[in-house]
A and B are shown apart, each in its own frame.
Chain A
Amino acid sequence: AQSVTQLGSHVSVSEGALVLLRCNYSSSVPPYLFWYVQYPNQGLQLLLKYTSAATLVKGINGFEAEFKKSETSFHLTKPSAHMSDAAEYFCAVSDRGSSNTGKLIFGQGTTLQVKP
């Protein structure tokens, strides 16, 4: 069975500081990994995804993530936080079980607070 774990349900950074949101995965097959962002009262929007091409993945709004097989991690980073980055962030793995349907298995989410 595949799963993801997000370390830290709340992360607080100052505007302009580095953003680091942690995600570790568990998978018996090469995983496909996703980061989604949810702004208040909105649906989820894809930030970036890893599908076994380059291990460093660049996404929208200046975010990037690095797939590290040895550490089973897919942490999300942004060099400089903006106030508009305040939201909830979800790491997800695509189910590659026998059905191979693409359903997403989500972590518990991390709320990012950006302080002025």
Chain B
Amino acid sequence: DSGVTQTPKHLITATGQRVTLRCSPRSGDLSVYWYQQSLDQGLQFLIQYYNGEERAKGNILERFSAQQFPDLHSELNLSSLELGDSALYFCASSGSRLAAVQETQYFGPGTRLLVL
């Protein structure tokens, strides 16, 4: 158990809909990273938050957004869903900003999204 929790575990929805994925980082970790894992794209970094502020953006679509709340949990919002958004979405957390490049990221179990 990494200490990172993600809900829900599975999500099935229809095209055009909007969903919210939730992540709680390990106790004490300030950074949250979101990654998408799909068969065609592999594991891709989406976005990072550090202590409530957006820190880095990767290949994240404009239909997707995220935020980190004062209690440090994070939510990834996916809207106007398309078939191609079906994937496994991981959240990871780490502690420090200054040593971020060396730090281990601890991954949650993921949310499997299926868009029909």
Query: Which residues from chain A sit less than 8 Å from chain B, CB to CB?
Result: 32, 34, 36, 41-46, 49, 51, 90, 94-96, 99-109
Contacts and interface: CB of A to CB of B under 8 A. Distances in A.
B101 A108 contact: no
Interface of B: 2, 4, 31, 33, 35, 42-45, 48, 50, 55-56, 58, 90, 92, 94, 100-110
A73 B103 CA distance: 20
Residue among A42, A100, A101 facing the most chain B CB atoms (10 A cut-off)? A101
Given A32-B102, A100-B101, A45 B42 contact: no
Contacts of B58: 103
Interface of A is mostly: loop
B42 A109 contact: yes
B70 to A, nearest CB: 21
B109 A102 contact: no
Contact of B102 (A36, A45, A51, A101): A51
Contact of A103 (B33, B42, B102): B33
A45 B101 contact: no
Contacts of B44: 106
